[in-house]
Chains A and B, each alone.
Chain A
Amino acid sequence: MPQIAQLAETFSSQIFWLLVFFGIVFFVVGRGMVPKVMGTVAQRDSQIGSDLAAAEAARAQADEEEEAWRKRENENRAAAQALVAKAKADAAASSEKKLAAAQKRLDKKLADAEAAVAAARTSALAEIEGVAAEAAQDIVQRLAGVSVTAASAKKAVKEAMSNG
């Protein structure tokens, strides 16, 4: 076993070179490079962490904005609906008023027309009475040779008409 057979002659060189090379590994690689590698990892981790936090914050803000937008939208919708309802009510009121005015006008026209018709009838009736009285006077004169006064003829006609 060379490990034992050569122990006396090689142990010092083994120890010396191991300390030299392990020392180089420890100070150059372990102390020099490893912290930098780990620093890179830590930096990446913190970068990822902050990116995630930023994304989370952006999401929260988007949610907030959506909420605000929804609220505004709801308000706008309510306002629009109120406006529509008011316009509807106004329109209904004004059309009612117009209808009432038109109705009134029509009623007045009807009343006027009725009055005119009544007047025409009365005048017509009076004319018919007059004509009938004259006719009755004539007829009586011609048939009975009696001359009646216009007044009595009129009276008789009126009686006959109201009876007949």
Chain B
Amino acid sequence: MAAEPAKVDPMYQFTIEPLFGSENWEIAGFNIAFTNSAMWMLITTVVLGIFVWGGMKRELVPGRWQMAVETFTGFVENMLEANIGEAGRKYVPYVFSLFMFILFANLLGLLPLGIVGLHPFTFTSHFTVTGILAAISFSIVLIVGFWKHGFHFFSLFVPHGTPLPMIPAIFLIELVSFAVRPFSLALRLFVAMMAGHVLLEVLSSFVIDGTNAGAHFGLLVGLPSFLLMIGICALEILVAGIQAYVFALLTSLYINDAENLH
């Protein structure tokens, strides 16, 4: 997708390109090219690994780094304990990985590396990625639910005190709302990340095109757009954290349904 130099294509940033001539890598007929998306997954994994590794000094009196890592583990642990209870502790590794992976991906994708010629890629703005993560969370819910409660798990779809004649209708409605969960989980993150990045790109195109069109436009359009962009950037950092939190929180709420029914 070759964007013309004078124009800024706000969707171009989401383009996936194979790197290192790997476009023909295949497993069982499926293409597994090492793309820029995979590259940023690797970067996210490495950065996250380094971050958590730095918190493993196991000192009695923690340093700043250890404190930061312990804050995150404590945060996830508290969230799970508040939503699921004592049984929630065993999900800390998964929910922590999920939360931190999404958070680091969102934040790394926001880095202004374009200044030094690199192109940051936010893989959480692809529904293939968020969809897989949501599917993993939802599979855990289903597996835990049926493992723990067997077919009794279906009682999740009939809330307490439902009048008998209403049960079929309520069951259907609850089943649909349950089945929609992985999609809403995936789409929420994907849409939030994509919208933010598109907005930033559109505003930056206003700045560039406005300034190129002359001093008047530069002052009238470029400068306000630039100021707005600064604000939106701060907002996007907030959204990066909030969306990671929402994803982890909803996952823990759904696991709670599977653990405890209701």
- Which residues on A are within 8 Å of B, measured CB to CB? 1-3, 6-7, 9-22, 24-26, 28-31, 33-41, 43-44, 47
Contacts and interface: CB of A to CB of B under 8 A. Distances in A.
Classify the secondary structure of A's interface with B. Answer: helix
B96 A30 contact: yes
B120 interface: no
B161 to A, nearest CB: 39
Interface in B194-248: 194
B43 to A, nearest CB: 9
A25 to B, nearest CB: 5
Given A30-B96, A38-B92, A17 B73 contact: no
Contacts of B58: 36, 39-40
Which residue, A3, A13, A44, has most C-beta atoms of chain B within 10 A? A13
Contact of A3 (B77, B97, B101, B125): B125
A1 B41 CA distance: 21
Q: Which A-B residue pairs are the 9 nearest by beta carbons?
A: A30-B93, A17-B38, A30-B97, A12-B30, A21-B41, A14-B128, A2-B14, A16-B32, A26-B97
Interface of B: 1, 11-12, 14-16, 18, 25, 27, 30-35, 37-38, 41-42, 44-45, 48-49, 52-53, 55-56, 58-60, 62, 66, 69-70, 73-74, 77, 92-94, 96-97, 100-101, 123, 125-129, 132-133, 136, 190, 194
B1 to A, nearest CB: 7
Given A10-B35, A30-B96, A37 B128 contact: no
Nearest to A4: B127
Contact of B38 (A13, A33, A39): A13
Contacts of B14: 1-3
A9 B31 contact: yes
A28 B49 contact: yes
Nearest to B127: A3
Nearest to B58: A40
23 contacts: A2-B14, A3-B127, A3-B128, A10-B31, A12-B31, A14-B129, A15-B132, A17-B38, A21-B38, A21-B41, A21-B45, A24-B45, A24-B49, A25-B100, A29-B96, A29-B97, A31-B93, A34-B96, A37-B70, A38-B92, A39-B58, A40-B70, A41-B73
